[in-house]
Every structure is written in structure tokens, then in C-alpha cells.
Structure 1
Amino acid sequence: MRYSGVSIRRAAKRFMQDRGGNFALMFGVVVATLAAAVGFGVDTVQLYNARTALSGAVDAAVTSTARDLTTGVIQPADAEKVVKAFLSANSSGGILTPDRITLDRLTVDQTARTVEAAAHVDVDLFFPLFGMDKTKRVTNTSAAIYSDKQIEVAMMLDLTGSMQKTRKTDKIGDLKTAAENAVRTMLDGQDPKNPRVRVAIVPYASGVNVGALGKMTYAETSSSSDLPPVAGSSLLVAKTGKTTLPSFGQYTSVVSSAFPNSDACATERKTRDGKADFTADGPDTVRTDKSGKQYYALVNRDNRLSGQGMNKCPNAKVIPLTADSAALLDSIYDFSANGYTGGAIGVQWTYYMLSPRWRSAIRSADLGDGPSDTNSKKISKVAILMTDGEFNTVYAGVSGTNNNGQGGLARGNAERICDNMKSDGIEVFTIGFALPSDEASAARDVLKNCSSTDKSSSMKHFFDVSTGEELNQAFQSIIANTERLALTQ
């Protein structure tokens, strides 16, 4: 068969036209595939965000309802109304809208003392594919325990010189606001005659002002021993007529008279080797010196703490566990900043305020009922340790007068005490507030090491904050975590 030139040209033209159609078809397929992929990605992110938001809303609703049942604010019959209100309040303003969340099921088991809620939200899809529905249902179920578990919180608060107000910052003012809000959040709305939550505060600087507990301290002099008088000493024999150790009450009466603690300040308790004591033993614990002679384990007031300038205690006193918000707030209102950073001393007294071994001493000083016995099923014990700088002041185990340049020793002492607290079942939260750049690394290390281990991604134990608003938020987050611990452990 023969083809003319015209026939060949016509055949070629038809072929090229057919190829152009193929390219257009292929281009359309590629564009459609890319659009589908982008749409699928957008919808996937949308569903993920909705699932996360719904989970947070249901968790908050269940936890808050369990707390209200625990404290007696509501009755089981009120639970559904409260859960719905929290689902609405915790979803507005985000990817979810209140009118789209549906509570599917709420179960309040009064025998197991649990609250369980299931809810869903229908999420609009931007790019439904292949006949898919235009909406996708996301569901979530959450549960919490409600109980009569009590909470004891001791807050160590930094009143050192670096907290003073300057032209640019008011750190002491920020602390007052955050501490006041924390006390109100924890104590408001409960029965003062039968409180579920009690709070202690431990203001600290170069030492700790222990108030009425100062009668149970040993105020050293430049010529006295590091240890309080032992049985058979000339002082005790002269005052009691006994060569054996007298009663604790008689002992503290003699010692406080012979070694008066005029400013009620306390530093570390010293061991018989002159080093820091890391235990939470009460002051009525009987100890022996290197010669086997007995004495009571009073906490020292080191004579090198001059009580002048930066080397003095805060005016604010330690307040042991109480549900009296007025007493706590009055103390907070009067906070003023001055002094070095005896952080390990503050940690030590925070430990004391939560230890049942100090209950007798606190009661005898007429400072309340003291800490409860340790019982993880009935009591949640929490320490909050806050500082704006590096711990630097130590007296025990330090020779000479360089007590305010002991950063390494202070941090090590603090971490040892924190380890003991955690071993005793105390949950430790820490806050670093506007840490200066030249101290930030060391200060953060001790706070991280002191804090308890995070049990989940939603429960932080160490907070590194820069502003007053962030400080307030840190305290509120810790309180929320404290409630979560009390409701779930």
C-alpha cells in the first residue's frame, strides 16, 4: 500500500492530537490525586485536633465532677448537669463548639466511687472522599475516682534579696499574687470544721523564721558546741539535778533559757559530726554524741547567722498546716524580700511541715494539729519548692565564715533532702522563677533533680517560668495536678 505525503501528514496530525488528549487526561488525574492527598491531610489534622480537644474536655469534666463529689459540693444526682456544664465550658473558643459535644453516657458508681463519662463530637470534613459522609464521629471516654482523701501541701517561698522590687520588675509582688491565688484556690469553698485540704508556708532567705517552734531550737554561741547539751552536762545537772536525760519539755525549757533564740531563726540541724542532718526526725528524737551521751535532736540556729543586713531571717514566719486561709493570707500580704538563698534550709523545713514526726512539736507549740500519718490511700502529701536563684547558703559542715558562697554544698544538701521526701511518699513540685542567666543552669539542675518524676505527659513537676503571670499559672497547674493525684492514686 502506498501513502501520499498528504496522507502521512494527516495521520501525524491525528496522532499528535491524540497525544495531547492523553497529556490532558494524565494532568487531570495527577491534579485530582494531589488535591485528594491535601484534602485527606487537612481532614486528618482536623480529626486529630478534635480528638485531642474532646479528650481534654472530657478529662476536665470528669476530674472536676469527681472533686466536687469528693468535697461534698454536689451530690451524685447533680453529676450529669455538672459534666455537661464542664464539657461546654472547656470546649468553647477552640476547634470544638459547645453545641456539637454530646454526652453519651455518665456513670457514677457509688460503691466503687468512680465517675465515668463518654462523649462524642461530629466533625465536619473539608474533603470527603469516595462517597464518605461529610462528618466523622470522634468519641472519648474518661474516668476518675472520688474519695475522702485529704491533701496536705507545704509551699517553700523565696523571700531573698533578689526578689526585691526594681524599676523593671516586682518579683515579690508577683509572688504575693501567685501565693495568694494558690491559697484561695486550695482552701476556698471547703468546710473549715472538716477541711479536706490544709496548707503550710515556709518563707525562707538566709534562714527560716520558725516562730513559736524557736523554743525547740538550739541557738549556738561562739563558744558553745555544735550539739545541744548532753545528759550529764553541768548545765542539765545544775538545772534538773539529774545525770540522765530529762523529759523533753524540761530539756527545752533549760536549753531555751540558757541559749535564747531571740529572733526565732533556724538553720540546719547538725549531726554529731557537725554536718547537715537530712532526716525529718522530730526535735524530741533522742540522739547520742560520739561519746554515747544522749541529747534531743533540736534544730540549730547557727551563731554565724548575724541577724543583720542580708544575714537575717525573713520577718514572715513558718505557718504549719492549716485550713485558716486568713492566717496564711495575712502572712503573704506582709512578705518582704531580703537575704541570701538558704534553699536547702527551706527545703528541710518544708519536709518537717509534712512529716508526722513533727506533729508532737507543732501541737505543743500550739500551732495546729500537725501533719497526718503517712497513708497513701487516705493522705496526699505535696511539697512545692520555689526559688528565683541558685541556693548558696550553708552553715552545717562549713568551717570559717564563708557561709554564703556554698552553692555546690547547698544544692547537694537540698537534693538529699528531696530524695528523702520522695522516699516518704511526698510528691515534690518545683518552680524556677526568672532565673538569672549566670545561675540558671545550676539552679535548674537542682530543681529538676528535686522534683518527682513526671507520671504522664500532662503532669509536670518542674516549672521554669519568667513572668508573674507564668508564676501564677505554675502554681495553679500544680494545684490541678495535686487534685489529679488525690483523685487517681
Structure 2
Amino acid sequence: MWRGVEAMKALLARFARDTSGSIAIMWGLSAIVVIGMVGAAIDYSRAVNVKEVMAQELDGAVLAGARYLSSSTDTDKTKTQIVDTFSQTTAQALGETATYELTADDVSIDETAGTISVTAKGAVQTAFMKILGIDTMPIEVTSQASFSDKYLEIALVLDLTGSMDGSDGNGSTRIASLKSAATTLINTLMPDETSDRIRISIIPYSEGVSLSSSMASLVTNGYSTNCVTERTGAQQYTDASYTSEYIGNGSNLTMYYQGYQRYSKEKLAEYYSNYGKSYGSCPSSNILPLTSTKSTLLTKINNLSAKGGTAGQVGIVWGWYTLSPKWNELWPTDSEAVSYDNDKTLKYVIIMTDGEFNAIFDKTDVSRQSCSGWGWNRTCTTTTDTYWYENYNEYSTASADRAKAVCSAMKNSSANQGSGITIYSVYFNPESNATAQATMENCASSSNKFTYASSGQALSETFAKYAREIQKLYLSK
């Protein structure tokens, strides 16, 4: 191309030197102008294309930086990341078509406003305008993105019931798809191994939730050494500390089954003492309280396994407990939730189930009388013991009703500076279930925060969407 241009310039020069006729001279001068104008249009078109590519790559780099700042407070690393991302992607897109430059000094981060502003400069070498003495055309592009300056506490309430070993609609199991989807969510929210802004808890649930032996004993007043459930009474639908009202025992349960009374309440104590656990089943994975370490979260997700029935209300209320400052005395110091009125911290719960809720827990007081002696010497002593029992009923709405009550209480709590905890929910199953879907939709903070995922792919897309929404990223210019 350049040889052609040089040849054209030589030809036009000869025209200019030719004095054999005024018409030739005029044509030669006009030709220079005409060729220059046509060439300028071509060069300008090339410059516009290059500018569009640079603008697109700069937008992508700035969004990547905003995403990083939503989980970190390291502004210097963010600037470096934006520069590196822009340089790499632009080089791939343009090759040697243009020169361009972006340094950390061109990146402005306003932490108060929560914005990133970037200006990148470049130049396109001209092909035709060199005739007119113009060797390059300058290019300047700008981009601005908003990032969340908030701190996040997120509880993942995940269904680990036996049905999660069923098909996900994409040739895999639901439990495998859940692991993949949850991994995607965590990687999206936490690009680095640790996060300055985000902490996540994981609450695996089936017919109850599992805690360490010491924690389980503490919250159940010595009843349980692992499996815990819900509570009854005035604090059933609150996040009041376990010191106000203890939590139900999930270990060594006897059960009401399928809507009829397998054992009378009066016999529960006897059966409990003589035979121990009947049907109750808790997850093999303990609750993971709030943590900012990505590898800890991913290891927990990878080790999940499915078994047991579905006491969804138990998982949901324990998700609340991990976000409540009223429960801080139970958790390690690094897992303590911030106060509800902290204007820099937002609290979220993400609930996932693959079926209807079908198990609730209640307690009964059983009186026993023990006597000794005969006749006038006979003495009797009455003692009253409290026993927890499970009511498993696939045809009852009791579990769903309790779940809705817990969700309502969370949404109307004093969290998030009085606006309540924000709840996202998803019903995940290739087979539609109106009751399960209605429960999840009722729990969500709004209709657009509920999703029916009919396949494993849809679940991954849903979790990724929720992660992006929580980050609150968008291009503002």
C-alpha cells in the first residue's frame, strides 16, 4: 500500500512540475485535493472503527475493575487490573492497526461517589492523508462505571434432601448442578481468595441443620450433639438469641409419619428412651458461618451430599441466624454479623429448594409418675420431661406455612437499616411444582427475585444473575 501511495505522490509531483499547459497544471493541483479528500474519508472511517473497538475494550476493562472493587478495597490493584485488561484485549482486537496507551494515572477512582472514570488515548496511522502531511489521527475514548461501595453479608440456604440425587434435566444430578451453580456464584462475588467487602455463610438443610457438638448442645440446652431444628413459642419467627428460647432437638427423634400418628405423644418418651432415633436425618455437612475466604466456601460446596426429608423452614431460619447480630455469641469472632443499622452493610439470603417442604418439629411435655412402698407408706413423685418430635407429612402445608412466616419476618426485620433482609429464591427441578414454586415466590422480596430453574444450566444462570444483581454494577456512561 505504501509503495502505491509513494508512486501516487511522485506522479502528482510530476504533474505539478509540468509547465506544458495551464490545464494540466490545474488538473494536477485539483487531483491532489480530490485524492486527499477521498483518502481522508477512508482514513477517517478506519479511525472510527478503531475508536469503536477501543471504546468497547475500555468498557470491558472498567467493568472488570468495578466488579473487583465490589469485593475489595484495593484501589491500586484495581487500577493495574484495568490497565492490564485493556492492553491485552485491545492488542488482540487491533493488532498493529493502531497505537494506544493507558496508564494507572489515567484511571480515576472516586470511592465516595462509587465511580471509576478512565480515559485512553491512541492514534491511527493514515494511508492517504500523508499526502497532505498528516501522518496520524489521534483517538480518545472514555468510560465510567459505578461500583458498589457496600459491604455484603450473604446466606446461602441450600436444599440437600434425598431428591437432590435426582436428574437435573441436563444429564447430571441436581446436587452436582447445585455445586456448579454455587461455585459460579462464589467465584463471581469473590474474584480473589479473600474479600474485604463480602462474607458468605452456607446453610445445608434437610430435616434439620447440623452444628458442631458444642454448638448443638449449647443452642438446644443439652438436648442435641449435632442435629438441630426450629423452635416453638413466642420466638419461633424471630431472630432472638437462643438464650431467649432454646432450639429444637434434631437428634434421636421419633416421628409422626405421613399424616397419621405413628406413636402417641404419651408414648414418645418411652420410645425415645428405648429405641433412640427413628427416621430423622440431618445433613452430613455442618453450617458454615460467615467467612470471607473463598477456598473455605468452595470446599464446603464441593463436600455437600444429599439425604433426608425437607424441613425448609429450618434452613431458612438458620440462614437468618447467621446474619443476625443477636447470634454473634455462637459464632467465631470473624463470623460475627454486623449490626442491622450499619449503613455500609447489606444483608441477603438466597434460598434454593427442589421440592415441597414436608417436615416440621414440635415438642411435647410428658409427665411420669414413679411410686415406691405399699399402703400408707406408698409415695409417688411426678416428673415432667420435654421431648421433641418430627411430623413428616407430604400432604400438609404446615412446613411451607412456617417457611413463609420466617421469610416474612426476615423481610420485615430491622436489617438493612430497617428495610429488612433481601431474599432471593429459586425452585430447581425439571418438573414443575405449583406448591413449591408458590412457597419460593412468596419468600422472595419481589417477584423478580424468584426464579424457576428447570435445569442445571438454568440454575447456574440464575445464581450468576443473582450475583451480578447483588453487586449492582452498571455502565453509567
TM-score normalised according to structure 1 size: 0.59
Aligned twin of 2:410: 421
Alignment partner of 1:350 is 2:319: yes
> For 1:376 and 1:486, how far apart are their aligned partners in 2?
24
Decide whether aligned partners of structure 1 residues 301 and 200 sit closer, same or farther in structure 2, where only a CA change above 3 A counts.
Answer: same
Alignment partner of 1:369 is 2:335: yes
Deviations 1:316-367 (A, max 9, x none): 111111123343333323322111111111111111111111111223xxx7
Q: How many residues align?
A: 346
1:158: Cα distance to partner?
0.8
> For 1:484 and 1:164, how far apart are their aligned partners in 2?
34
> For 1:397 and 1:60, how far apart are their aligned partners in 2?
57
1:109: Cα distance to partner?
3.4
Gaps of at least 5 residues in structure 2 are 1-53, 121-140, 256-271, 365-387
**RMSD over equivalenced CA pairs, Å:** 4.3
> For 2:286 and 2:475, how far apart are their aligned partners in 1?
32
1:464: Cα distance to partner?
1.4
Decide whether aligned partners of structure 1 residues 146 and 162 sit closer, same or farther in structure 2, where only a CA change above 3 A counts.
Answer: closer
Decide whether aligned partners of structure 1 residues 82 and 171 sit closer, same or farther in structure 2, where only a CA change above 3 A counts.
Answer: same
1:79: Cα distance to partner?
7.8
> For 1:155 and 1:487, how far apart are their aligned partners in 2?
28
Aligned twin of 2:20: none
Equivalent position SS for 1:382: strand
> For 1:380 and 1:86, how far apart are their aligned partners in 2?
35
The partner residue of 1:284 within 238, 243, 247 is 243
- Note if contact 2:155-2:200 (Cα within 8 Å) is conserved in structure 1: yes
Aligned twin of 2:178: 175
Alignment partner of 1:433 is 2:398: no
- Note if contact 1:145-1:487 (Cα within 8 Å) is conserved in structure 2: no
- Note if contact 2:145-2:473 (Cα within 8 Å) is conserved in structure 1: no
Identity value in percent: 27
The partner residue of 1:298 within 246, 249, 260 is 246
The partner residue of 1:321 within 290, 299, 309 is 290
> For 2:308 and 2:55, how far apart are their aligned partners in 1?
46
> For 2:68 and 2:313, how far apart are their aligned partners in 1?
37
Decide whether aligned partners of structure 1 residues 160 and 400 sit closer, same or farther in structure 2, where only a CA change above 3 A counts.
Answer: closer
Deviations 1:176-201 (A, max 9, x none): 22223333433441546xx3221111
Gaps of at least 5 residues in structure 1 are 1-53, 93-98, 120-138, 219-254, 286-296, 455-459
1:396: Cα distance to partner?
3.6
> For 1:427 and 1:180, how far apart are their aligned partners in 2?
21
Equivalent position SS for 1:362: coil
> For 1:409 and 1:140, how far apart are their aligned partners in 2?
57
Decide whether aligned partners of structure 1 residues 406 and 268 sit closer, same or farther in structure 2, where only a CA change above 3 A counts.
Answer: farther
1:376: Cα distance to partner?
5.2
Alignment partner of 1:391 is 2:353: no
Equivalent position SS for 2:154: strand
Aligned twin of 2:83: 81
1:436: Cα distance to partner?
2.9
Decide whether aligned partners of structure 1 residues 394 and 467 sit closer, same or farther in structure 2, where only a CA change above 3 A counts.
Answer: same
> For 2:320 and 2:79, how far apart are their aligned partners in 1?
40
TM-score normalised according to structure 2 size: 0.61
Alignment partner of 1:159 is 2:125: no
Aligned twin of 2:12: none
Structure with the largest fraction of strand: 2
- Note if contact 1:106-1:118 (Cα within 8 Å) is conserved in structure 2: yes
> For 1:485 and 1:427, how far apart are their aligned partners in 2?
17
Aligned twin of 2:472: 484
- Note if contact 1:381-1:427 (Cα within 8 Å) is conserved in structure 2: yes
Equivalent position SS for 2:328: helix
> For 1:185 and 1:469, how far apart are their aligned partners in 2?
16
Aligned twin of 1:199: 200
The partner residue of 2:305 within 336, 342, 359 is 336
Equivalent position SS for 2:202: strand
1:77: Cα distance to partner?
5.2
> For 1:487 and 1:379, how far apart are their aligned partners in 2?
23
Task: State the AA in 2 paired with 1:383.
Answer: V
